[in-house]
Structure 1
Amino acid sequence: MKGIISIQSHVVYGHAGNSSAVFPMQRMGFEVWPIHTVQFSNHTQYQQGWKGKAFSADDISELISGIANIEQLKNCQALLSGYQGSADQCLAVLDAVRQVKAQNPDAIYVCDPVMGDPEKGCIVPQGTTEYLVNDVMPSADVIVPNQFELAQFTNMEITDLESAVMACQKALSRGPKMVLVKHLHSISDDKFTMMLATKSGCFIAQRPHLKFAKQPVGVGDLISALFTAGLLKGWSPEQAFEHANNASYAVLKETQQRDEWELQTIAAQEELVAPTERFPITKV
C-alpha cells in the first residue's frame, strides 16, 4: 500500500493543517499517513482561543521509526510538510525525508514553509524561520510559499510580476525543482494570483477574489495537498498547478455560498476531483 506522509498541524474542529490536507489527497485517490506537529481544538484565529498542545520532535521521529519498522517507508511516494512549531521539528522532518528517500529514491519532498503572511507577520517561534530558510526549503523538491515566505527565502522584496518572477528564479537556484507561490498579493487587487516556476518557465493562475467577512484558514494547506496529489498522479507541473487553483477555488466558493468561515471541504468534495469551473494558466 503506497501513500503520502503528511507532517503538519491538526485541528479537531474545522479544516487547517492536516485537517485541510489529508482528505483532499485521499479524495484524489491516495493513502495518506498523517503525523501531527500540534493538535488543537480549533485553528488559532478564533477570538475565544483554542485548546490543545504541541508535540515534540521526538514524537515525529518515533512515528517515522514505527513506519520504518514495518518496512513501509519504501512505499512512501511523497512527504508533505506544513506547520513546524520548533527548530527541532524542522530537523525531525529533514531526518524523515532522508529516511524516506533512502528507501524510495523516487519519493518527492514537498515543503509548505509556514511562517506567516504580510497581515499576520511571522507566526512561528524564533529560530524556526531560520531553519526553514537555510536548511528545510533548500532540501525540498517542491516548495509552496506565499509571497511573504518566498521573500524570506530569497531575501528579495516582491512588489510586482517582474520581481515575483525574479524571486522564483532565485528560489529555484537554491535547490528546489519547483516553486508554487500559493498567493501573490502584489499582482492584483481583484484577482487571487498564484505562480508556478519550473525549469520550463513561470506560469500564472488567477481566479476571482471571493469576499468573506472572516477569511477562511487552511487554504494554503489545501493548495499544497492538491498540488502534491496532482504530481503523484503523473500530471505535468502545469496540469497539477491548474487543478490546484480550480479545485481550491471551488472549495472557497462553496464556503462563501454557505456563509461559513471554516472551509467546506467535505461539501465540495466532488470538486476536488473534477472542478466545475476552470481558469486556464498563462506563461509569463
Structure 2
Amino acid sequence: MTLDDSSYRALSIQSHMVSGYCGNKAAVFPLQTLGFDVDILNTVQFSNHTGYPSWTGGRLTANEVQDLFTGLERNGLTDDYTHVLTGYIGNYEILERIEAFVCHLKTKSPKLIFVCDPVMGDGGRLYVAPEIVPLYRDILRTADIVTPNQFEAETLAETTINSLESACEAAKALHALGTPNVIITSVSLPTHALYCLTSHKAITGVTEQHLIAFPTYPGYFTGTGDMFSGLVVARWQEAIDNKVVSPLAAAAFKVVSTVNAVTLKTFNRQKAFIHAENRGQTGSIEKRPDSPKVIRQCELMVIKGKKEIEDPDSYSSAIKMAAV
C-alpha cells in the first residue's frame, strides 16, 4: 500500500507565517505531497518568522482554539482524523486544551497517531514560559512519537547530553514519561557535527535505538524542525503500513534524507546569493543575517524540494545509519 492510496487525514496544530516557511507552512506541504489530507489550525499568524528584524500579527487565545475544536466536533469533522501533529504552541492554556482534545480524539479513535514536536527552545535557552516544560512532560503520556531537538530532550529528561551514552539514556528517560517512540532530531557529539537518534520502546520493554549521521552546512536555516516533524507523520505511517523492520529508524532515515537534501538546496541558494552580492567573491551565511533581503534567501525551499520529499532514497547517499 502506498500513501497515495490511503485515506489518512491529519490535523496539524502550530504556527503560521504569511511569508516564508516555518510552522504549518513547512509541515503541511510535505504531508500533502505524500498523500495526506491535512486540516490546518494556526495558533499563531505572523507576517513572517521572528528571525526577521520585525514582524506583525497575532496569536489565538485558548478560548478561540477551543471554539475551533467545538466547531469541528459539532459537524463531525473530527471523526476522520487518523493523525494529529503539534508544533510550536507557546501558550500554556492552549497546550492544555490541545492535550485534552487529543485525549478525546484518542478515546473515539484509539488508533489515532499523535506526533508531538515539543517546541520549547534551542541552543541552550527556552523561548517559552518555564511552566510549559512540565506540561509537555505530562503530554508525553499521550504522544505516540515525540521529536525534540537536543536541548528540548535535555530539558524534558532533566539531563545533559554530551556523549552517545547520555543521548541514549535521555531517550530512555523520555520513554519513562510514557511515549514509545523518540526521535532526538539533532544530537551534537564530539565525533561528528550532528546526529539524529531514534529510540523505540516495544511493549515487551525492549528498547531499540539507531543513530543517523548527516552532513551540516554553514548557513542560516529556519523551519527544518517543522518540516521534519511533518515528514515523520507520513513516513512512520508508511513504515507501519509496509510492515518495515525497525519502522521508526526506517522512517527517520527517509525524513533525514529529505530534510538534508532540502537544506542543501537552500544552502546552495544562499551561496549563489552571496556570490552575486559580493560580485563574484565566495562566502556563506553562518549566523542570522540582519537584512530582510538576505533572510528571505534563507527561507527553506519546501516547494522546490518536492522531488526530495517524494523520493528520499535518491538523496540518501550522504546519510549513514547504525544500530546502537
For the aligned pair, the TM-score class normalised by the smaller chain equals over 0.9
Aligned length: 278
Cα drift, residue 2 of structure 1: 4.0
Q: Distance in 1 between matches of 2:81 and 2:258?
A: 24
Question: What residue in structure 2 maps to residue 211 of structure 1?
Answer: 218
Q: Distance in 2 between matches of 1:102 and 1:51?
A: 38
Determine what percentage of the aligned residue pairs are the same residue: 30
**Pairing of 1:236-275 with structure 2 (within 5 A):** 236-259=247-270, 260-275=297-312
Q: Distance in 2 between matches of 1:132 and 1:268?
A: 31
Question: What amino acid does structure 1 have at the position aligned with 2:93?
Answer: D
Residue 181 (1) aligns with residue 184 (2): yes
Larger Rg: 2
Tell me the secondary structure at the aligned position of residue 179 of structure 1. strand
Question: What amino acid does structure 2 have at the position aligned with 1:90?
Answer: L
Question: What residue in structure 2 maps to residue 3 of structure 1?
Answer: 9
- Pair 187,71 (structure 1): closer, same or farther in 2 beyond 3 Å: farther
Question: What amino acid does structure 2 have at the position aligned with 1:15?
Answer: Y
Question: What residue in structure 2 maps to residue 149 of structure 1?
Answer: 152
Question: What residue in structure 1 maps to residue 315 of structure 2?
Answer: 277
Residue 37 (1) aligns with residue 43 (2): yes
Residue 116 (1) aligns with residue 121 (2): yes
Q: Kindly provide the CA deviation profile for residues 106-146 of structure 1, in whole angstroms up to 9, marking residues without a partner as x.
A: 00111100111125x1011242223223x222321111001
Cα drift, residue 66 of structure 1: 1.7
Question: What residue in structure 1 maps to residue 75 of structure 2?
Answer: 70
Q: TM-score, normalised by structure 2?
A: 0.82
Cα drift, residue 189 of structure 1: 4.5
Q: Distance in 1 between matches of 2:191 and 2:17?
A: 32
Cα drift, residue 207 of structure 1: 1.1
Deviates further, 122-131 or 53-62: 122-131
Gaps of 5+ in 1: none
Q: Distance in 2 between matches of 1:125 and 1:15?
A: 24
Cα drift, residue 188 of structure 1: 4.4
Q: Kindly provide the CA deviation profile for residues 47-74 of structure 1, in whole angstroms up to 9, marking residues without a partner as x.
A: x211110111122222222222221322
Cα drift, residue 273 of structure 1: 1.1
Q: Structure 1 residue runs of 4+, over 4 Å off? A: none
- Pair 116,32 (structure 1): closer, same or farther in 2 beyond 3 Å: same
Q: Is the 8 A contact 2:157 2:173 kept in 1?
A: yes
CA RMSD between the two structures? 1.5
Question: What residue in structure 2 maps to residue 172 of structure 1?
Answer: 175
Q: Kindly provide the CA deviation profile for residues 223-268 of structure 1, in whole angstroms up to 9, marking residues without a partner as x.
A: 1111111122235222211111000011101101111310000011
Cα drift, residue 84 of structure 1: 1.3
Question: What amino acid does structure 2 have at the position aligned with 1:28?
Answer: L
Tell me the secondary structure at the aligned position of residue 141 of structure 2. helix
Question: What amino acid does structure 2 have at the position aligned with 1:198?
Answer: H
Out of 164, 168, 179, the residue aligned to residue 161 of structure 1 is 164
